[in-house]
Structure formats: C-alpha cells, structure tokens
Amino acid sequence: MLGDLLFRLRAFFRAESMDAGLDEELQFHLDRQLEKYIQAGHSPEEARRRVRLDFGGATQITEECRQARGTHALEALRQDLRYGFRTLRKNSGFSCVALLTLALAIGANTAIFSVVYSALLRPLPYADPDHLIVLNETHPRIGTISVSYPNFLDWRAQNHVFSGMAVMASVGHNLSGIAQPETISGQAVSSNFLSLIGVHPLFGRDFDPSEDKPGATPAVMLTYPLWQSHFAGRQDVIGRSVSLDGRGFTIIAVLPPNFRTTEAVSVLEPLGVWLTNNNGPIERANRLDTGALGRLAGGITLERARAEMVGIAARLAEAYPEANDQFGIALQPIRELFVGDIRSTILVLFIAVMFVLLIACANVANLFLMRAAGRTREIALRVAIGATGGRIIQQMLVESFIVAGFGGILGLALAFAGMRAMTSLIPAAAMSANGAGVNGAVLLFALGATALSAIAFGLAPAMQSVRTGAHSRLTESGKSSTGGVRQNRKRTMLVVAELALSVILLTGAGLMVKSVSRLMAVDPGFRTDHLLRLNMGLTSSQYPDNTAVRAFWRRLLDEVRALPAVESAALGTHVPLTNSHGRSDITVEGMPLPAPGSFPHPDDHSVSPGYLRTLGVRLLRGRDFTDADSETAPKVALVNARLARGLFPGQDPVGKRFFNGRPDPARKPVWITIVGVVDDTRMYGLANPSRLEIYFPLAQATPDEMDLIVRSRIHPAALTSSIRAVTASIDRNQPISAVSTMNELVQNSVGNRRVTLILLGVFSALALVLAGIGIYGVISYSVAQRTREIGIRMALGAGRQDVIRMILVQGARIASAGLIIGIVAAFGLTRYLEKLLFSVSPTDAPTFAMVALVLALVALLACYIPARRTLRVDPMTALRYE
Amino acid sequence: MLPVEANRETMSRIDLPQGTLDLLILCTLSLEPQHGWGISERVQQMSSEVLCIQQGSLYPALHRLERRGLIRARWGASENNRRARYYELTKAGRKQLETETGLWKQLTVAVNQVLGEA
C-alpha cells in the first residue's frame, strides 16, 4: 500500500523524465519492429506501414501507461492547477478583487478567532480544571463579595462535596532594593493551593502545611515573568532574599511560565505570613480581599455542591448574625471567572465576523458566477471534446481553491497585524497567560475557513457552469439563453443575502454607537479632564505610626502643589473608576435599629482638603473640609446626595450625626457630624448607578495607602516624572503605581463597549462596502447584458431618464428585498447585544431607520454608476451588439 | 478500414484471455531480463506464433506490474547497442509467478475436464 503510494508520488514528481523515458522505450520497440519487417523482406515503406498498424495511437499508449502508473488523477490536478493559474492571471482584475475580499474576511475571522480561542477555548493550565470551583460570599444589597476567613474555615470543615479547598488573599508589596522601587501584587495562599490546582513549581519547593499558621517565616514564590524581568532568569535565586515592604522574604520557588491564578500576581506567599501581619482575618465580619477555591469530589455535580454549600452558609448566617446576616454563597467554575463579562462581547464579535466571511463568500461566488457566464463557450468546448462533468467541476473548484488559498495566506498576514491591535483593546485578564496569538488551533481555523469558503463560493458556480456548458451548443453565444436568466436570479439572491447580513451588522454597530455616545454623555459627577491619578502605599515598617504617615502625606502634597503646571493636588483613598473601594456599616443617630445585615453600608473615603475641588465634585450644601478639621477637632464628614436622600428624606442632613459600625455595648460610640452634602459620583463606571458615599477628613482617618490626584494646566501625563522626582526626594524607596489620567480611566470603564463598537464598526463598514460592490456587480452586469434591449428601447423613443429609471428600479427591488429581510433578522438578533447596550433598546427605531437609509443610499449609488453607463449607449451600436 | 491482409493475419492468432498477459510477461522474464520488444517476440516465438501481444496492452501492463512491485526496470544496452529499458523479476514477482502458474494449471485442468466430459 505504502510502496504503491510512494511509487505514484515518485512517478508524479518525475513525470517529465518518465514520459521522456516512455517515448524512448516505445521508439526502441518501433525501430526493432521495423528492422524485423525489413529483414523479413518487406520494402521500407511497407515495413513502416505495418509498424504503424501494429502500433496504433502512440499518444493513447502513453496515456494508458500513465494511467497504469497511477499518476492520472494527480496529473489531472496538475493540469488544472496550471490552467487555473493561467486563467486567474489572465483575469488579474477579477482575481485581485476576489483575493482581497477573501483576505480581508479570512484575516478578520482569524484575528477574532485567536481571541475567542485564548479567552474561551484554550485549556486552562490546571489539572482537570472543570472541577475547580471559585467560591464567594453574596449579599442581596452588595452582590458578590470576598470571603470572611473564619467562614472559609467553617466551609472547609463542614462540607462533604469538595475533595480540597484553598484560600487566596490578595496582598500588595513595595518591592525595593532595585533601581526604581515598584509596587507588586501577590496572593497569600494556603499550602494546598498549588496541589489543588495541579501545578508544580518550575523548580524550588512547594509550601508546607506548617506555613499556614501565623508566625510563618516570610517566604515567596516568584512568577515566571517577575523571575525573568527582575532576576534575569537565574537558577540560583532559590534561597536568596528579596525585600518586600522593607522586610526580607526568602525565595523558595519559581512558578511555571503558563501559571495563572484568579488575579494577576507577581508573587505567591504562605497564608501564615498574611495572618501574622493582619488582625483583620480573625474577625468574622471582615471580608478582606480573599477568595476561596474548591475541587469537586468525585461524582459530585456543581448543583449538588451548591445545594450543600448554601445550606452551610445559611447555618453560619444563623449562628453568627452579627457577621453573617443575609450573607449567602456563590459558586462558579473557574473558567467563568476568567472569561467574566467578556464572553458576550467576544461571541457577538465572532458572529459578526462570520457574517463578514459569508458576505465575502457571496461576493466572490457572484464574481465566479459572472465569469462562468462568460466562459460558457469554453466549457461547452471542453465538454464537446470529452471532459466529464466531474472533471469540469474539479477544474472550477481548483480555481476557487487557488483564490481561497492565496486569500487565506494574505488573510493570515492581515490577522497578524490585526491581533496586535486587538489585544491592546481587549483586557488582558481575559486572555490566557500568553495572550492571543497565532498557534496551532488558530492556524487550523484559518485553514478550515479558507477551505470552507473555497467550497462555499466555488461549488455553486462550478455546478452552474457544468449545467450551462452541457446545454449550450458551441455555436451559441450563450448570453441570451435561459440559463443566463436563472444565473441572474441566483446572483440576485446572493446579493439580497449580502445586503440582509449587512443590515444586521450595521444595526448592531448603530446600536453600539448610540450606547457609547450616551454613555460618554453621562455626567460622572466629577471633571475628567487634566487629571492625573497615582497610587502610593506606605509600608508599615518605615512609617510605624499615624504621625509619620501624616507627615509624609503632608510633605508630598506641599511639594507637588509647588510644582509648576499643577493647578491643585489632593489625596483620597478611593478615586472613582479605579475599582478601589472601602465600605462599612454606619449607625445614624435616632434611627430605628435594623437587622444586622440591613445597616446602611456606604462607600467611605478619606480625603485631604481640596479633594473635592481637584476632582471637580460639586458641593451642594454646607461646607468643604479645611485644614481646621484636624486630628483634635470635632469629627466631621461629608455625605453624597444619594445618602442624604436615602437616610434623611425631606430633611437637611447638615448637622445630623452618625457613628461608624453598629451599636456595641462594649464600645462608646464616636459621633461624627455631617457638615456638607456633595454630588453623587459614578464610582463604579459610567454605566453603573452611584452608591451611598461618605467622606472623612484625612487628618481624622489616616490610611497608609492613598491615591494622589493632580489637576494640571498641561497634559496630565507630562507631570508623572516630576512627581516621581518629588517622591524620591522624600523617600528614595517609595514606589508609585497605577499612574493614569482620568480620561484613560474613563476609556477603560467603557472598554468592552468601545472594543465592540470599534470592531463592529469596522466589520459593518467592510460588509457595507462588499454588499455595495455586490449590488454594483449585478446591476452593471445586467446593464451590459441588456445593452441591446436598451438600444431597442431608445431607438423606439425611450428617453435616457426612462432607461436610468428602469435600471434603478431593478436595483431598488434587490435593495428593498435585502433591507426587509435584514431588518426582520436584526429585529430578532439584536437582543443578544442587550448586555452591551446602554440606555438604548435593542429595537431602537431611529437606529433601524438610520441603517435602512444608509443602506438605501449605498445601494442607490451602486446602481446609479452602472445606470449612467447606459447614457453612453449609442442605439445603433447597441442594435449591432454581439 | 483495416487492410484485408492484416485481418487475415490476426485471424490466425488468439486474443489473450483477461489476466493471462501478466502471467506471460512474468514467465518470460523468469528466464532472463528482457526489454519490451524482446518480451513480445519471445512470447510469439514460444507460442509458435499463435499468441501475439499488442503493444497497446504490453506497455501499460509492464508499468502496472512495475507499480505493483512485481518487476523492476533499468536502462541497459540492447543486442544492437542501443539504450533499452530492461525489465526483470523481483522477489515478489517470482512468488507471484509461482502462484499464478499453479492457479493457471488448476484452471486449465478443470476447463479441460469440463470440455472433455461435454
């Protein structure tokens, strides 16, 4: 079998020399036979005649030998390829259009697929990832939130559905002792974390159960990227010490390159170290930045696990009402965590880009159909000299595969370029460790898309040409035959489909444009221009008490305010749109005491004087903080309008008092007086409603991590280096992180929608152009076909306007069919966009009307150009046409 | 169309039954390596001019046998010092010849018995 194949292949690739050999062999035979006849006494002429008779057709023998060698099919393919290349080169205009159309569509598809693959399909780097479940707590007023550490311990002790459970706490460190100090993030994890997810360190040791207890020796695992960037990938880092927050941590391991955990981290450290440094986790009511991960035990379904865990959470809520009132539990497979809300975006884009490919195929099919119509005679000739239907189809398909193949290669190149642009648009967290890129799966997809499109646009024209080829006679021009009419109908249907798909894409893009423009028009409650935000965390070892921390903040503010081009500067704990927040319960003086889980739970901020002015938040009532609101002055606070409306309906909140936390007989409440009301801000993104907010003066609540906000007279990013210099002059080891302008934060907060908008916009523009070309092609072809008819009409007295109108009516009929089908389909499909829309209904009538208008205009233009061509028709020439 | 003499000539010869051509080629080559013309001459001689191989079927058959690995070809010098393509049996070809010869003998005996009884 194998030998046979090898022989055939060898024969195929050496066909030239084998043919020459065969000729020589036959010639030898011929000559010997001739000699034989001459020796037998025949005259040379007679001998030659006999030889010819014996021999029969030499070409036939050659052909049969080829067949015997088994190279016949390959030979035919080679001929078709050669012939295909030749015809395509001859029609270079046709080939270029077809090739470019496909390249764009395949390129766009491949680029989007690479994102789909890395975000949705690529296997996670864990052992049996489908059984890894992320657990969070939930609260009806807040939604999903972090896990209380004591609750986690109870979950782990009481459940029978997980074979193992690990806890991960987010930590941030100042990494110093290097050229420029910087902030890195990490996770403190229980010692079973790596074995639970099935990951082994690249080298070094795993955590030990003894490291789960408070008092553990500071140790750290480096992620691969940090090891490469800061330790030059040196093997001897194990056992070395690295300075985090001014403390020495021993490096015990390096994690593998594809390692990823539930958030972006640079280091892992033992849970015990985190417990040592924090009193917080001991308190059941504290929900720090902590998550839990469980591996489903054998045979346990997610539903079963959920049922049991909900029961445990309910028991805990009952047992510890102060901490757990109304708190529930949420379970989700770990993949969902990574994909998050980007799934719908990606799927919408993937469907959109598939539409583009379909439109492109329809267009190319149309081109092929049109060309097949012009080749009727050629096909008829080939049928006449004995080509079978299958052979003709094969040859046509070979041509479409050539076009698709080159389109695919060019498309892949385009995809390379497009992927770089796209990964910068799409949040990196959704991607696997290596991000989107070209890999085996993506190449396979490109190949599949190429092959399928070749068949999609090649098969119908191929079959068509066999039918017409078989029916038309050589003498006939084939242009006015009924086959032509049927072909016209097929082409018209393809164009109608293209237009319908374009309508769907345009509608989606239109809805997104409207959503994003409405979103950007939302008043965020603060000024977004000329504003820079930086984050700084002071480490406890260098700033042991509030006095030291306050001194640092005060000096920083003074020096930054003194910089040229700085209009104002201030400090605040939680700048809007940064996803940073802190919340706690409050008790308002005189209010009826609610259940433990129903106390007002506002966002709280600690801000320096000038914060509101720098951020541009409007003061609605009362006064702003001043330097007089010092540590020793009476405790004061500002509240936002929403809190004022919610907690003091119909009253003036200024002068009212509250205290932090819930009533506790063991503690004397510290009363805080409300001195003013400020406007609401969109803390959590422009699309999300504002929450209750309280502001405290920095002097009366001094945190060691703050955002510095600076309003500048120049482009805010230009201030970064001078602020770094100022900070270094105060403390050489103090890192600055999360530097961004407020405009960037706004852009990020609309990120998903913006990506969808841009890509849908690009795709629908592409679709519109292709559909325009499609309708243009059909109309101009039909004009060319009807030249004679038009000539007759004009000779009989029809005006030029009448002729143009006739052509335009034909176009309008096609366009309106596409439009109607498209609008009906879009009406049903746009609801899948709903999640991404903002204050626009998926069936927004003005958008639909606009799309219809745009498409009608494009169609009109595409028909008008060929229609005008009829003006140049000279009746006499037209009548003599052909 | 065909000249009458040619007709007369072919009349005295027998068309080869299906499949016997391969057997004859293998048998001829089992004596010594031979080129195409030599094979047809040899068959004609050995069959006392009764069997005549048409060139139209000889060469395709040779290529088919080569593809099946029963014979192999190489270029060599002919009796009159011309380049000719010589075919020779391979090991597989020799085995095939034995099997086919056995089968052929069984067939002829059986056919003869039937004819003899008839």
Cβ separation of B55 and A67 shorter than 8 Å? no
Mean local confidence (pLDDT), A534-543: 83
What pLDDT is recorded for position A147? 94
In this predicted structure, the answer to whether residue A335 has a pLDDT above a threshold of 80 is yes
Strands A247-254 and A203-204, by their bridges, are antiparallel
**A554 vs A568: CA distance, rounded Å:** 14
Please report how many Cα atoms fall inside a 13 Å half-sphere around the Cα of residue B70, on the Cβ side: 21
pLDDT tens for each residue of A353-391: 999 999 999 888 888 887 777 777 777 777 777 677 777
- How close, in Å, is residue A384 to chain B by CA atoms? 25
**A652 vs A649: CA distance, rounded Å:** 8
Please report how many Cα atoms fall inside a 13 Å half-sphere around the Cα of residue A299, on the Cβ side: 1
For residue A495, which of A187, A822, A218, A24 has the smallest C-alpha distance? A822
Residues of chain A contacting B63 with CB distance shorter than 8 Å: 65, 68-69
In percent, the amount of chain A with pLDDT more than 70 equals 91
Looking at the complex, does the CB of residue A55 fall below 8 Å from at least one CB of chain B? yes
Mean local confidence (pLDDT), A303-325: 94
For residue A580, which of A647, A526, A533 has the smallest C-alpha distance? A533
Please report which confidence band the pLDDT of residue A17 belongs to, taking 50, 70 and 90 as the band edges: low
**A187 vs A267: CA distance, rounded Å:** 7
Assigned token pair, A677? 């009301």
Mean local confidence (pLDDT), A653-665: 92
Which residues are bridge partners to A244 per DSSP? Answer: A175, A247
In this complex, which of A22, A28, A65 lies closest to B84 when CB atoms are compared? A28
What pLDDT is recorded for position A3? 64
In this predicted structure, the answer to whether residue A476 has a pLDDT above a threshold of 50 is no
Query: What ipTM, to 2 d.p.?
Result: 0.81
Phi, psi of B71, deg, nearest 5 = -130, 160
Range of the domain at B67: 4-117
Give the max Cα distance, chain B.
Answer: 53
In this complex, which of A25, A53, A68 lies closest to B60 when CB atoms are compared? A68
Strands A219-222 and A247-254, by their bridges, are parallel
What pLDDT is recorded for position A163? 96
| Helix-helix angle A845-869:A751-785, to 10 degrees | 30
Contact A201, A251 (CB under 8 A): no
What pLDDT is recorded for position B14? 64
Cβ separation of A29 and B37 shorter than 8 Å? yes
Please report which confidence band the pLDDT of residue A10 belongs to, taking 50, 70 and 90 as the band edges: low
Assigned token pair, A690? 């504002």
pLDDT tens for each residue of A151-203: 999 999 999 999 999 999 999 888 887 777 888 999 999 999 999 999 999 99
- How close, in Å, is residue A90 to chain B by CA atoms? 37
Cβ separation of A53 and B60 shorter than 8 Å? no
Residue to test with chain A: of B5, B63, B71, B90, most A Cβ within 10 A: B63
Cβ separation of A26 and B59 shorter than 8 Å? yes
Indicate the burial class of A555 (C-beta count within 10 angstroms; 0-12, 13-18, 19 or more).
middle
Phi, psi of A640, deg, nearest 5 = -90, 170
What pLDDT is recorded for position A77? 78
- How close, in Å, is residue B56 to chain A by CA atoms? 6
Between chain A and chain B, the number of residue pairs with CB atoms below 8 A apart is: 70
Looking at the complex, does the CB of residue A65 fall below 8 Å from at least one CB of chain B? yes
Query: Among all chains, which residue has been given the structure tokens 């062999």?
Result: A25
pLDDT tens for each residue of A49-76: 888 777 766 677 777 777 777 666 677 7
What pLDDT is recorded for position A433? 42
The reply to whether the predicted model has a pTM over 0.90 is: no
For residue A727, which of A737, A735, A717 has the smallest C-alpha distance? A735
Mean local confidence (pLDDT), A294-317: 95
**A468 vs A597: CA distance, rounded Å:** 79
Which residues are bridge partners to A660 per DSSP? Answer: A586
- Residues 30-49 (A) with a CB less than 8 A from some CB of B: 31-33, 36
Residue to test with chain B: of A4, A10, A24, A28, most B Cβ within 10 A: A28
Assigned token pair, A643? 């809190």
Please report which confidence band the pLDDT of residue A754 belongs to, taking 50, 70 and 90 as the band edges: confident
In this predicted structure, the answer to whether residue A478 has a pLDDT above a threshold of 70 is no
Cβ separation of A21 and B36 shorter than 8 Å? no
CA A386 to mean position of chain CA atoms: 53
pLDDT averaged over every residue in chain A: 86
pLDDT tens for each residue of A256-274: 998 988 888 999 999 999 9
Strands A586-588 and A657-660, by their bridges, are antiparallel
Query: Among all chains, which residue has been given the structure tokens 């048998």?
Result: B27
3-state secondary structure chain B: CCCHHHHHHHHCCECCCCCHHHHHHHHHHHHCCEEHHHHHHHHHHHCCCCECCCHHHHHHHHHHHHHCCCEEEEEEECCCCCEEEEEEECHHHHHHHHHHHHHHHHHHHHHHHHHHHC
Cβ separation of A32 and B61 shorter than 8 Å? no
**A460 vs A440: CA distance, rounded Å:** 31
- Residues 14-73 (B) with a CB less than 8 A from some CB of A: 35-37, 40-41, 54-56, 59-61, 63-64, 66-69
CATH of the domain at B74: 1.10.10.10
The separation between the first and the last C-alpha atoms of chain A, rounded to the nearest angstrom, is: 56
What pLDDT is recorded for position A637? 96
Q: From A35, which residue of chain B is nearest by alpha-carbon distance? A: B80
Q: Where are the domains of chain A?
A: 2-70, 75-125+342-477, 142-325, 479-523+745-882, 543-730
3-state SS class at A163: strand
Most confidently predicted of A179-193, A305-319, A760-774: A305-319
Please report which confidence band the pLDDT of residue A779 belongs to, taking 50, 70 and 90 as the band edges: confident
Looking at the complex, does the CB of residue B8 fall below 8 Å from at least one CB of chain A? no
What pLDDT is recorded for position B5? 39
Cβ separation of A69 and B85 shorter than 8 Å? no
pLDDT averaged over every residue in chain B: 80
Indicate the burial class of A343 (C-beta count within 10 angstroms; 0-12, 13-18, 19 or more).
middle
User: How many domains are contained in chain B?
Assistant: 1
For residue A607, which of A708, A680, A698 has the smallest C-alpha distance? A698
User: Which value, to the nearest 10 degrees, does the dihedral of the CA atoms of residues A409, A411, A412, A414 take?
Assistant: 130
Please report which confidence band the pLDDT of residue A482 belongs to, taking 50, 70 and 90 as the band edges: very low
In this predicted structure, the answer to whether residue A701 has a pLDDT above a threshold of 60 is yes
Q: From B41, which residue of chain A is nearest by alpha-carbon distance? A: A33
Q: From B37, which residue of chain A is nearest by alpha-carbon distance? A: A29
Q: From A28, which residue of chain B is nearest by alpha-carbon distance? A: B84
More confident residue, A832 or A296: A296
What pLDDT is recorded for position A503? 93
Residues of chain B contacting A36 with CB distance shorter than 8 Å: 41
Mean local confidence (pLDDT), A441-448: 87
What pLDDT is recorded for position B11? 41
Complete DSSP assignment for A375-441? THHHHHHHHHTT--HHHHHHHHHHHHHHHHHHHHHHHHHHHHHHHHHHHHHS-GGGS-TT-S---HH
Residues of chain B contacting A26 with CB distance shorter than 8 Å: 55, 59
Looking at the complex, does the CB of residue B4 fall below 8 Å from at least one CB of chain A? no
